[in-house]
């Protein structure tokens, strides 16, 4: 295959372009993998996105992928053939660690692959690294006692978000082309917003998960990428029924590769979701997205939702304390001294919540919030709103008090992200795409919310915004991160 000069430009190829170049024999999967590995060697001392490196195995698999594109052995290339994929460490790989960022689980080894891992491997994707998370994936940042602090390539003083922070940081740093993520309160969309990437929270059941939390209707696994086309391709690999997850939907939905423009679409703009205090730069960038849609022929109408912080708190507290929080509390009861400060605080908060609200209390509020969203969206094809209320969060901060950045108080950390309302409404597909940049040095994001199980519409809007407001990781749009910043941070 033709030789290319590996470098940061090659590491920032889209998966779509890489696959095309492989097929044309203008690029070798081995060359691409070497470029990604070289980039990781430069950036990981600062970014720390990887919990485990599988570089030697990945290079060997890249050689096999090259053989497929050369027609050797009668094997044909698969959808992700030769593409580097970084997978979240909580996505189990048989025979490898399954710690979820916790000292409590150090030495735990997975006995079988998570469904999303099987899908990646079956599609020919090459898992070259596993990405960091906060302990048990319970935070909007990414650091742990086990792995240390993961930093945002755009501004290492700030976090890439969480819990899929390692995934977002790796994409932004050019050390992977695709990444697996998961989302129970925003864990895909928050890091996508803070890293200028594309993250898809699929509707509940679309992508199979792992027991017991596969039965938690707030959560779901999903894809992250740097472009909408890549996210579509990756989503089509991950979706579909799996017998290990009885709620996984059949038949398999196949997202189209091409989409109509947004001309004639009706789109709701909701800046505060009823309850959030939105930073002026976030509001400005979100309004700029709305104007771009209008200029492209869409009808955009600003609305407000009747949601209150009290209602959101009741729904979230009842749900999390009963399921996910109870799971963490089981560990905390035996291993409190080995857990991160924020994980202990989460377990304590959930224990208190269980005394105050019942699951039924939560369901009463949850179903009302769902109806209010459905009624507000009824005249529209989709809704757009900010992904986060603030432009960033400090790296390494447990966020147990007020959110203070550059000496300025930005309120309670709980309200920094605007994602959890759409875990309450988890039958709605939500796509995060970049909305611009802030003076804090980070990208900002906008959520595109679809009607229940209407996945194609959010990608239609996302694809239009990618054309209207390009954010591609081109040479003039890259984090200024490399060996020099590694030595100075």
| Active site amino acids | 88, 163, 187
In whole angstroms, give the CA distance from residue 186 to residue 21: 34
In whole angstroms, give the CA distance from residue 5 to residue 387: 37
In whole angstroms, give the CA distance from residue 420 to residue 126: 32
In whole angstroms, give the CA distance from residue 245 to residue 211: 7
| Greatest Cα-to-Cα distance within the chain, rounded to the nearest angstrom | 65
Exposure string for 305-322, b = 16+ CB within 10 A, e = fewer? bebeeebbbbbbbbbbbb
Q: Which helix (H) or strand (E) holds 431?
A: strand 430-437
How much of the chain is in helix, strand and coil states, percent to nearest 5? 40, 15, 45
The per-residue DSSP string of 324-388 comes to HHHHHHHHHHHHGGGS-HHHHHHHHHHHHHHHH--HHHHHHHHHHHHHHHHHHHTTSSEEEEESB
- Asked if 213 and 327 touch (Cβ cutoff 8 Å), the reply is yes
DSSP for residue 415? G
Exposure string for 362-397, b = 16+ CB within 10 A, e = fewer? beebbeebbebbeebbeebbbbbbbbbbbbbbebeb
**Sign of the torsion angle spanned by Cα atoms 489, 7, 31, 192:** positive
Exposure string for 38-50, b = 16+ CB within 10 A, e = fewer? bbbebbbebbbbb
In whole angstroms, give the CA distance from residue 194 to residue 437: 9
* Torsion angles phi and psi, residue 185, rounded to 5: -155, 10
Distances (CA, A) of 485 to 45, 49, 154, 245: 9, 16, 11, 44
Helix (H, G, I), strand (E, B) or coil at 156: coil
In whole angstroms, give the CA distance from residue 424 to residue 414: 15
In whole angstroms, give the CA distance from residue 17 to residue 25: 12
Laid out side by side, the sheet with 266-269 consists of 50-53, 126-131, 84-88, 178-183, 220-225, 198-201, 430-437, 443-450, 382-386, 266-269, 299-302
Q: Collect all residues with Cβ–Cβ distance below 8 Å to 407 and sequence separation of at least 6.
A: none
């Amino acid at each position: 295959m033709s030789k290319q000069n590996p470098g940061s430009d090659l590491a920032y190829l889209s998966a779509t372009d890489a696959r095309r170049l492989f097929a044309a024999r203008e690029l070798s999967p081995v060359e691409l993998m070497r470029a990604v590995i070289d980039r990781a060697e430069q950036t990981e001392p600062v970014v720390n996105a990887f919990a485990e490196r599988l570089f030697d195995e990945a290079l060997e698999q890249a050689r096999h992928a090259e053989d497929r594109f050369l027609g050797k052995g009668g094997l044909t290339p698969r959808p992700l053939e030769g593409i580097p994929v970084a997978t979240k460490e909580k996505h189990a790989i048989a025979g490898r660690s399954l710690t979820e960022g916790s000292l409590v689980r150090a030495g735990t080894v997975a006995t079988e692959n998570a469904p999303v891992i099987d899908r990646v491997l079956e599609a020919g994707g090459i898992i070259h690294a596993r990405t960091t998370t906060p302990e048990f994936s319970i935070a909007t940042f990414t650091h742990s006692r086990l792995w240390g602090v993961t930093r945002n390539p755009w501004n290492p003083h700030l976090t890439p978000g969480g819990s899929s922070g390692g995934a977002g940081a790796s994409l932004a740093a050019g050390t992977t082309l695709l990444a697996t993520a998961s989302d129970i309160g925003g864990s895909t969309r928050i890091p996508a917003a803070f890293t200028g990437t594309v993250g898809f929270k699929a509707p509940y059941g679309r992508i199979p998960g792992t027991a017991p939390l596969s039965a938690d209707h707030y959560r779901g696994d999903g894809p992250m990428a740097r472009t909408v086309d890549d996210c579509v391709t990756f989503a089509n690999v991950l979706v579909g029924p799996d017998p290990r997850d009885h709620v996984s939907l059949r038949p398999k939905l196949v997202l189209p590769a091409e989409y109509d423009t947004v001309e004639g679409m009706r789109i709701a703009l909701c800046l505060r979701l009823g309850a959030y205090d939105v930073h002026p730069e976030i509001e400005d960038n979100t309004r700029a997205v709305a104007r771009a849609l209008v200029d492209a022929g869409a009808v955009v109408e600003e609305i407000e939702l009747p949601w209150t912080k009290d209602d959101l708190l009741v729904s979230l507290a009842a749900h999390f304390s009963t399921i996910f929080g109870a799971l963490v509390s089981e560990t905390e009861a035996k291993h409190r001294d080995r857990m991160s400060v924020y994980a202990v605080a989460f377990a304590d908060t959930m224990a208190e919540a269980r005394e105050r609200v019942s699951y039924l209390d939560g369901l009463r509020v949850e179903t009302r919030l769902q109806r209010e969203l459905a009624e507000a969206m009824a005249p529209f094809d989709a809704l757009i709103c900010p992904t986060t209320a603030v432009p960033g969060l400090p790296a390494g901060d447990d966020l147990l008090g007020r959110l203070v950045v550059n000496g300025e108080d930005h309120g309670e950390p709980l309200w920094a992200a605007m994602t959890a309302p759409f875990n309450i409404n988890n039958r709605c597909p939500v796509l995060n795409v970049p909305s611009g940049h802030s003076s804090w040095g980070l990208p900002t994001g906008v959520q595109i919310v679809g009607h229940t199980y209407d996945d194609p519409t959010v990608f239609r809007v996302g694809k239009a915004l990618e054309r209207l407001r390009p954010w591609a990781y081109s040479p003039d749009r890259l984090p200024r991160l490399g060996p020099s910043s590694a030595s100075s941070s």
